[in-house]
A and B are shown apart, each in its own frame.
Chain A
Amino acid sequence: MTTDEILEKTKSFLAQFINVNVADDEELFASGLVNSLFAMQLVLFIEKEFSIKVENEDLDYDNFRTLNAIVGFIEKKI
């Protein structure tokens, strides 16, 4: 899967939860854009869509804080 494909899939997932267009490097959690259920929804999305497991040691905000970070994390794992 190319970076662009991962980016597109992740963008359309985020669109379900965030009304405004998020910049690729915009902080998702700090800006109050998402509710308390979002963190686990994101984990489930990554696991199901890319057939990877988000593990205990992956819990690092640098893996999730922006769209770019999420894409980078997914690329690292697949």
Chain B
Amino acid sequence: MEIELTPQQVQEQDIFRAFVSEEIAPYADQYDQDECTPDEVIKKLAEIGYLGAIIPKEHGGQGMDAITFGLLCEEIGRGSASLLSLLTVHGMVCQAILKWGSASQKASWLPKLATGEAIGAFGLTEPNIGSDAKNVESTALYSNNSYVLTGEKKWISFGQLANLFLIIAQCDGKPSAFLVERNTPGFSTAPITGLLGFRSAMLAKVHLNKCQVPEENLVGKVGFGFSHVAGAALDHGRYCVGWGCLGLAQACLNACLSYTSERKQFGSFLKGHQLIQQMIAEMITNIKAARLLCYHAGYLKDKGDPSLIMETSIAKYFASRMVSKVADDAVQIHGANGCSSDYPVQRYLRDAKIMEIIEGSTQMQQIIIAKSGYHSFALEKRKARQKEKT
């Protein structure tokens, strides 16, 4: 057993780190205040190839292995959780097409998604439907070799600027997934502002008013839109978010290591006070624990092992709870400065809370993880009984 990055992965990590430190981190607070990610930033991400990170080389992407891609998510998450969500939702659309798209969908969309000519967004959640996602209320009616989509999607990250939306809607009462282009007649978006966190993730409401799309835009088959198409996308989303939480937590830790070395109270630096050391020690340990879960999920992903789905859910669950606590302590350590816009930790805390809600909330992960624990326990008992019999 070895848990070590390859020299190539270390090299890539250095490149990601430098890119984020120069191009993203210094501006992230401003974007957060403006509630906007400028086009130039997305252009930079596209030029350096990160929008095509998971797309194989034959379709114009980078074909990164799962660990390398995780390292990229970690670094982007360190700079800006909002920008990480672009990588997440864009990647979810790429993943859905890669796994379940038709040959023509792959040929026409993957090269565009890889270069950023197309920006993808993921349209599942609706005003009335969140966690209970397979019961979305949007509908798709089949008529004349096309589907007519009607409904409303809410909280769609980068919905303000994406031009290709993966929309989940019910077709004859069966969840189905469709590619819908922004320029489709009847399609419109409205910005959502004033959010707690992910403020520069350019969220939007999406309105589908009898949007007619050719039948070729169905991804997978009717009835497989949630279990398989969204299923593949959401697994990718949880993976990105898990790694992104690591980066965000690392940013909190770095801020605290720096601040506690400069700020003095009661005649000594904050880092000299043992109650501060306790919080720092907890941060370091929990970040390391989350990193191991993410490595494990990445290792299974590269092997294509079915347990990757559960392990990714566990990694996302742990990492998102971990970052909520780490960011909370980071603000505590910064005192009043931590509450001010002069320091980024207030943004970290606001963004960290979102991590527990998106890509399956903490409670949804808990239900799944606990159930799986009971299954494994029962299975072990059954195996032991069989052994006794023989």
By a beta-carbon cutoff of 8 Å, the part of chain A in contact with chain B is 13, 15-19, 29, 35-37, 39-45, 47-48, 56, 59-61
For the complex, is B257 an interface residue (Cβ under 8 Å from A)? no
By a beta-carbon cutoff of 8 Å, the part of chain B in contact with chain A is 100-102, 134, 220-221, 223-224, 226-228, 231-232, 235, 303-310, 313, 368, 371, 374-376, 378-379, 382
Question: Contacting A59 at CB < 8 Å: which of B220, B226, B309?
Answer: B220
Q: How far apart sit A13 and B224, CA to CA, in the bound complex (Å)?
A: 21
Q: Which chain A positions have C-beta within 8 A of B235?
A: 40
Q: Which chain B positions have C-beta within 8 A of A60?
A: 221
B101/A37 in contact, CB under 8 A: no
Q: Which of the listed residues A15, A37, A39 has the most CB atoms from chain B within 10 Å of its own CB?
A: A37
B100/A59 in contact, CB under 8 A: yes
CB distance from A41 to the nearest CB of B (A): 5
Instruction: Considering the complex, give the chain B residue whose CB is closest to the CB of A29.
Output: B227
CB distance from B122 to the nearest CB of A (A): 16
CB distance from A10 to the nearest CB of B (A): 12
Q: Which chain B positions have C-beta within 8 A of A19?
A: 374-375, 378-379
Q: How far apart sit A41 and B310, CA to CA, in the bound complex (Å)?
A: 9
CB distance from B217 to the nearest CB of A (A): 13
Q: Which chain A positions have C-beta within 8 A of B303?
A: 48
Question: Contacting B232 at CB < 8 Å: which of A16, A36, A40, A45?
Answer: A40
Q: Which chain B positions have C-beta within 8 A of A29?
A: 227
CB distance from B381 to the nearest CB of A (A): 10
Question: Contacting B231 at CB < 8 Å: which of A13, A36, A48?
Answer: A36
A40/B379 in contact, CB under 8 A: no
**What are some 28 contacts across the A-B interface (CB < 8 A)?**
A16-B375, A16-B376, A19-B374, A19-B375, A19-B378, A29-B227, A35-B371, A36-B226, A36-B231, A36-B368, A37-B231, A37-B309, A39-B224, A39-B227, A40-B227, A40-B235, A40-B309, A41-B306, A41-B307, A41-B309, A44-B304, A44-B308, A48-B303, A48-B305, A56-B220, A59-B221, A59-B228, A61-B223
Q: How far apart sit A40 and B304, CA to CA, in the bound complex (Å)?
A: 11
Q: Which chain B positions have C-beta within 8 A of A40?
A: 227-228, 231-232, 235, 309
Q: How far apart sit A48 and B308, CA to CA, in the bound complex (Å)?
A: 12
B102/A56 in contact, CB under 8 A: yes
